[in-house]
Amino acid sequence: MRMELEEDSVPIGDEVRGACELLGLDPLYVANEGAMVVILPDRWAGQALEVIRSHPAGRMARVVGSVTGKTAGGRVVVRSALGTSRILDMLSGEQLPRIC
């Protein structure tokens, strides 16, 4: 499966973004407790957002990307606001370890 993620759509708090910049970390690789990713058909997105946002913990819920095709082994491509793209590789230990 190939997925495209719009980097500017990912809800990252100013505190987290600032700390990651200071420490040289990519916030997409840092453990994010309380966050979830839901993959579902486009036609269900509106209803899913409505349900998730109805809970206080879901107030920042949004669509951040899409499944764009099939790829052997899977791939996530991150698109920046500048129009550049990069592959989001599997974490290989150089960033903070997962603690959950």
Domain boundaries, the chain: 2-87
For residue range 2-19, what is the model confidence (pLDDT) as tens digits? 999 999 999 998 998 999
Distances (CA, A) of 54 to 10, 33, 45, 64: 19, 19, 14, 19
**Which parts of 1-100 are beta strand (E)?**
2-6, 65-69, 75-79, 85-87
Q: Does the global pTM surpass 0.85?
A: no
One-letter amino acid identity for 22?
A: L
Level-2 CATH architecture, domain 2-87: Alpha-Beta Complex (3.90)
pLDDT for 49 beyond 90? yes
